[in-house]
A and B are shown apart, each in its own frame.
Chain A
Amino acid sequence: MKSEALQELVKTIFDDEKTRRQFMSNPDSVLAQFTLTEQEKKVVLNTHAKLGLVTADSPQLEATLDPTANWHAPIP
């Protein structure tokens, strides 16, 4: 699943301060500007609710990346 609209959304949020602020306060209004599928919208909103913008390592991100999340052991 490659989604150019999803890439464009993330790029705009991270590149443009005004859009970022708008996304933080009213994500739906920003999502409406991009041609995302309903499933993509749902996942973007869920990720935002769970983690906010992932701009640095955080306990929430670490929790999402459960150490046993992969069937391969992590490379030290």
Chain B
Amino acid sequence: MLSAKQYKSGVKPIWCPGCGHFAVLNAITKAFAALEQAPEDAVLVSGIGCSSRLPAYINSYGFHGVHGRALPVAAGLKVARPDLNVIAMGGDGDGFSIGGNHFLHACRRNVDIVYIVMDNEVYGMTKGQASPTTPARWEHSKLTPHGPEVRPFQPCAIALASGASFIARGYSGDPNGLAHMLFEAVQHPGFAFIQVLSQCPTFCPEQKQWKETVHLEEVCTDDPVKAAAFLHGDDGLSKGIFYRQPRPTWPVEHPDTQPTNLRKSFEI
């Protein structure tokens, strides 16, 4: 049985001091310790961005992949190797902008993987531009001096509408609560989506306030109508598991389309 610390690799994170992604790293190692996860049976797949560096910091298999493409890589891996615990991850730009369409279809397909989005509402790696989840009035970038002036993307509501079967939101200021969410998400049979409010102290120092404003909501339901009603009234700062309804995962098993049978159908 490994301790949480033993799931960390020897690679030192290069995130800024105070970055919320440290908390996500700690939450993953704590969840793995609780799950007694064999390091060789887990794979962390990421895209590009500050948060996507995370697989290098964990003592397991990792794939630091192509921008926005963590989900198709992770889904393909899980379909090929259903025995592995596959966790995809990335940031709000990677997941909701360039990877946005993959997000919709991953929710819809319900492949049995976990997807963690470390959402700091900013493009941190490229020095602080507006992302899909940036508040409309965020005026900290010279590229958008009046703020992006568009409504932020609503990840949890969109995940629900797209068919995700497990939807949660965590907070980097609560790594233990996030570890618990991950523990549940890994054991959920199907696509489990966790949005993490992960503060960027460098480009969004105002996110320090999350410590006071993020609040726990114990509203978990298996009723999509109730979940939708909650998410549409949500202030974006609630944390908790909001929706959990197991449904058949993809790919669906068809005995008549096993490789041996397929081979027969092509015989002349």
Determine if chain A interacts with chain B. no
- Chain A residues in contact with chain B, CB under 8 A? none
Interface residues in chain B, defined as those with a beta carbon under 8 Å from any beta carbon in chain A:
none
